Chains A and B, each alone.
Chain A
Amino acid sequence: MTRILKSIEEFEGEVSESLVIVDGHDLPPARHDGGSPEIGRSRRRIDATQRVTGRARYTQDLYLAGMLHARILRSPHARARVRRIDTKRAEALPGVRGVLHRFNTPKTPFRGDDVIFREEVRFVGEEVCAVAADDEDTAREALALIEVDYERLPHVVDLEEALGDVAPQLESDGNVSESGSHKRGDTKRALKEADVAVDVTYRTSTQLHNALETHGAVALYDGEMLTVWESTQHVFGVRTGLKNALKLPYSRIRVICDYMGGGFGAKNGVGKYTIVASLFAMRFGKAVRCVLTRDEENLAAGNRSATLQQLRLGAKGGRITAIEHTSWSNSGQGKWIANPTGPTNTLYEVANVNTRSYKVVTNAGSLSAFRAPGYVEGAFALESAIDELAEAAGVDPLTLRRRHAGAGKDPITGNRYSDKHLLECYRIGAKEIGWDRRRAGGTRGSAPHRRRGIGMASQIWGGGGGPPAYATVHVDPDGSVVLTAGTQDIGTGTRTVLAQICADELGVELDDVRVQIGDSAGPFGPMSAGSMTLASVGPAVRLAAHDAREQLLGAAAGVLETPKAELRLEAGAIVSKGARTPLGEVLGKVDNNTVIGKGIRFPNADDLAQKTFSAQFAEVEVDVRTGEIFVERIVAALDVGRIVNPLTAASQVEGGVIQGIGFALSEERIVDRALGRVMSGNLEGYKVPTVKDVPTIVVKFVDRPDRRANNLGAKGLGEPPIIPTAAAIANAVANATGARVRHSPLTRARVLEALALAGIRD
């Protein structure tokens, strides 16, 4: 019976309620007895061959016949009014097909604005014009021939400058707006009554995503259908963005993302480049390619906001009694911020908590979600400050955390956790790193000028996923299987784990399953973000495979003239009393029939909080002469429910840790304050970790299914591993040297400054 049910979902730290159309019933939790043929097994990526041979086609690899090339002219000014645009010389250049700008482009609503080319451009890199030409070189040349008359306006790019009185006010209500708060208990009183308290200020710098494949789209319009290939984390989100911008119905837009070169949160929806490519495609009836360069990527494709965070913590009797946390995030021209106070609100059972976060607008490139947005920044501050409090109180920092990590309920909603094994993560991680070797004040390093230390930090995040998500399983007469699901593989291994779930439930070999995803012509599914893909789509796939299996067994009963109850489907064959008949042979008797199984994601329980938990432990050496930090070992112990594929899961964790190390040690967008220009817009100036920067990483999973979460018992894993890394490293550095670095990344300059402040060197 079709009905409407309520569901609760968490996305990037925000909990919301939704309604879901459901039919039939969900499956009971999958078995977890080690007997599953596929779930829980390490499997190679089913698409790895295409990727290692260079045969995989990414968006930037599409070269369609007669394709035009679009390029974007970007503002050289941090803030200016575009008064006049002269395109005559550009349009006279042979090969130029057209120019779009604010005076000739129809209204195309985009993220709160009603145009893509604004009258007032508000950061260096903002889109001013777009050119379509027969080839890339001509388009580039044309950009240089466009004359724009700018009226320069006062700007501010720096977070703390924007907070001050003398900064230009960019919005009618100022630069600062509150974006979230939480209060429980009475922090003022608790701080007054505390035995010890710390009052500390933390800063985090802007981190740039730098997925190896830059943002880009190829659009094709045939008079009826707009087809867009895009490097995206959400084909359906791009479809919605195009529907809103171009006023086309969903049925006339198809968005495809087959192979995709990473996103990390920056590719969650439509981009201006998508709309530019589509407008030109619709005007000229040709394919149009618009792919960003690395520099453009680092100006205008999003970032993790810089933050300023103030914390006051109090402890009494060896327990944390109060946390106050106020945070300001540089949103650039973004319309939202990710909330850095999320971990403070929910990670520990503390009676008195008071937090507030603010969005600060500036004339810098806008933030976008970046792998655990807010939580990475917030966890760095909170988990560092907790170590400072532990030190002041004379308590071992892990012991202090243990006293607050056992709560069974979400402190904000009061809902029980569907499952939680944070204390187990502590136990596993402490044992693996050798926490009992940790000494207050650190130990001697491998050379006289090197100090050695151990630190840890923990993490909370969502990851429960939720509806809507759909899948179908088609079984063809030869017994081969096509799994279609509403999702995309952004590099995480989604194709592979969904194939495993399908093969497992259906009873066929992994090789027999072909996965069709990344196409909005198929059934809907969620954004590949928020650690929600597997927990959202996986249960729907399992249900679809189950439905197909039931139908196959029914069909086999008829063909083999055997009661259905005596039949099983195993490894691609119908098994009856020891006799195996290959599925293709059975279905061959009813040739041209197709069995279609259907699955949906059922709602989440509305009285449970679904969370992921983990802890990371870091061992470092610090050269006190140079300030250089050598991360030697990171241990990550995670509670993310059941692990479907240990190989791909471990890859996700290691990759998250490395990005966390980048955030902690080397990655920092540098902006010139006077001109508003990004000085680290390429991979030479912006330091992404290389293979030489990587420590030993040990990954441990609690690996217990969360049976109350969904029918797979699996939760998300993309974001948890990046959240605690920087704090674990900073805490290890403080343990090693006695110097506390309160600004990430912990560059040598900042380490030297902290060492000097601590009196360890001049």
Chain B
Amino acid sequence: MTRITVTVNGAREETAVEAHESLLTTLRERLGLPGSKNACEQGECGSCSVLLDDVLVCACLVLAASVDGREVRTVESLADGSALDPVQRAFVETGAVQCGFCTPGLVVATHALLRENPEPSLAEIREALSGNLCRCTGYGQIVEAVQRAAKTMYLHGLDDE
């Protein structure tokens, strides 16, 4: 076991991890944050998307031991109690959520996109989210949610910073 110190959603966490353990396992099983989902464990589906030092990663592909001293943000950090952030609100309002298993990953990936590119084109949205698989929706409402979130965040400024 290796001891690591990592800032998760703004809080400093100290935990012991196995040498081969993924960040996803650490988040879900050691830190009580199961919002990031485990659906493929090989970086194909995007359901475990988190921000590592503000960079979008699949938590299943990151070794937990490698995040020592770094900062992780998960889907659990986005809402403030019952107040949803603009991306989450847009997903709810447009009906972009069906079973919801892919949704946390999509919400985090959308954040990463809009941070880099506040006014993405349709093609840019599709490119940015092509690593997040959804098996229930037709993706159309997801794209609509991203466009709606972009508009809201552009008008009000990035309120999560």
Q: A residues bordering B, Cβ < 8 Å?
A: 42, 44-45, 47-58, 60-61, 63, 137, 210-214, 259-262, 264, 293-294, 490-493, 647-648, 650-651, 653-655, 657-659, 682-684, 688-692, 694, 697
Contacts and interface: CB of A to CB of B under 8 A. Distances in A.
A60 B100 CA distance: 13
A492 B137 CA distance: 10
CB-based closest 5 A-B pairs: A54-B35, A654-B138, A491-B99, A51-B100, A261-B101
Nearest to A42: B95
Given A212-B37, A651-B136, 17 more contacts: A42-B95, A49-B84, A49-B88, A52-B97, A55-B76, A57-B34, A58-B37, A211-B135, A261-B100, A654-B139, A655-B138, A658-B137, A658-B138, A682-B40, A683-B40, A690-B133, A694-B138
B47 A294 contact: no
Given A63-B29, A691-B143, A212 B39 contact: yes
Nearest to A211: B135
A726 to B, nearest CB: 16
Nearest to B30: A63
A608 B91 CA distance: 41
B135 A697 contact: no
B39 A213 contact: yes
Interface of B: 18, 20, 28-29, 32-42, 44-45, 47, 74-76, 78-79, 82, 84, 88, 91-93, 95, 97-104, 107, 125-127, 129-143
Nearest to A686: B44
A213 B93 CA distance: 24
Contacts of B45: 212, 683
B105 to A, nearest CB: 9
A264 B98 CA distance: 13
A651 B99 contact: no
Given A658-B139, A691-B129, A692-B126, A259 B100 contact: yes
Nearest to B138: A654
A47 B132 CA distance: 21
Contacts of B131: 690
Given A55-B35, A63-B34, A137-B18, A264 B40 contact: no
A655 B137 contact: yes
A293 B39 CA distance: 8
Contact of A490 (B37, B40, B99, B130): B99
Contacts of A650: 95
A60 B37 contact: yes
Contacts of B37: 58, 60, 212-213, 261
A127 to B, nearest CB: 20
A292 to B, nearest CB: 11
B28 A61 contact: yes
Contacts of B95: 42, 44-45, 647-648, 650-651
A689 B136 CA distance: 11
Given A53-B35, A691-B129, A213 B138 contact: no
Given A491-B99, A691-B129, A48 B92 contact: yes
A490 B135 CA distance: 12
Given A210-B135, A658-B139, A54 B38 contact: no
A661 to B, nearest CB: 9
A288 to B, nearest CB: 15
Nearest to B78: A53
A170 to B, nearest CB: 32
A44 B98 CA distance: 11
A47 B129 CA distance: 23
Contacts of B142: 691
B93 to A, nearest CB: 6
B112 to A, nearest CB: 15
B13 to A, nearest CB: 17
Given A54-B36, A55-B35, A45 B138 contact: no
B49 to A, nearest CB: 11
17 contacts: A45-B92, A49-B79, A49-B82, A52-B92, A54-B34, A55-B35, A56-B100, A58-B101, A212-B45, A212-B102, A213-B101, A262-B136, A491-B101, A653-B138, A654-B141, A691-B143, A692-B130
A648 to B, nearest CB: 7
Contacts of B18: 137
Contacts of A659: 135
Contacts of B138: 651, 653-655, 657-658, 694, 697
